[in-house]
Structure 1
Amino acid sequence: MTLWLTVLIQAGLLALSMVVLWWWFKRHQSQDNQYTELERRLDYTSRQWQQSQLEVEELRAGIIGVGQRVLQLETALQQFSSQTEQQLSSLTEQQQAIALTDPESKIYSRAMKMVQLGADLEEIMRECELPRAEAELLYNLHQAKQ
């Protein structure tokens, strides 16, 4: 009986060892599967990261290009504004020079001032030496504005 008992104990230990070995193998296999899955995920994430980096670089280059274009447009606008101011100043000076040299302009300016100050038609004709038709025209135009 002891022999049977010894064989039975050895068979039980062998079965237990096999179960432990099977459990360890399954557990190790499960960990290998998890490791493989983690490697796959890491590889996928790495590719996504690289793609994102490329997209960020493209966006950065685009933004730099837009910024440079904005600076060019600002410079052009400033030049245009400066040229426009110079031309306007030149035209204003020319207009003033013409007004100062044109004697008729002085007469009409004086007649308009007189209308604004309340002078009558006869007074305007006499002081500015204007014909009746021109004096009436100036008088009517400036009276309508008032």
Structure 2
Amino acid sequence: MVEVVNNNLVLLFVSITSSMLSLVCLGFIFVLTKKNQQNEQKHKVLRQHLQQSENQTAILRSEIAELRSGLLSIGQRLVACENYAKDIAQQQAAQKYDDPDAKIYSRAVKMVELGADIEEIMRECELPRAEAELLMSLHNKSS
């Protein structure tokens, strides 16, 4: 009889212990499930942030591509304008030397700068007195 009581006590102890272990395991499962849900929510938020960042990156890349294209176009236009300005400067320089009147006036201005008098300018450059006087007065004002 003592053996039966001892066996019953052992069985009772084992069943209580197993019930306690089951409750502890259920508690761990509950805690782990809660943490897993929290982690899933954090991951969801992080995925949303990542998606937003990827969208913004795509937008910025397209804007950079547009800016690059615009800058290339502006650069090409600038080169064309510089070439055009050089051509115009060369044409003006060529016209300056092709125009016989311009040669006369350039020579007359140089003579004024070197200190020639009106009579000498009129004789050498074949200019009327009024034009020679005008050149002299313009040179005197600029000096």
Count of matched residue pairs = 140
Q: Which runs of 5+ in 1 are unaligned?
A: none
Equivalent residue number for residue 130 of structure 1: 127
What TM-score do you get using the length of structure 2 for normalisation?
A: 0.75
Instruction: Letter of the 2:124 partner, please give it.
Output: E
Q: Which runs of 5+ in 2 are unaligned?
A: none
Match among 61, 66, 72 for residue 64 of structure 1: 61
1:50 equivalent in alignment to 2:47: yes
Shift of 1:59: 2.1
Match among 71, 79, 86 for residue 74 of structure 1: 71
**What CA deviation, in whole Å up to 9, does each residue of 1:34-79 have, x standing for no partner?**
2122112111111122112212221221222122112212221221
Identity of aligned residues (%): 34
Superposition RMSD in Å: 3.0
1:103 equivalent in alignment to 2:100: yes
Distance (Å, rounded) in 1 between the aligned partners of 2:26 and 2:138: 105
Equivalent residue number for residue 121 of structure 1: 118
Instruction: Letter of the 2:54 partner, please give it.
Output: E
Distance (Å, rounded) in 2 between the aligned partners of 1:142 and 1:22: 119
Match among 80, 87, 102 for residue 83 of structure 1: 80
CA contact (8 A) 1:115 1:143 kept: no
Larger mean CA deviation between 79-88 and 29-38 belongs to 29-38
Equivalent residue number for residue 40 of structure 1: 37
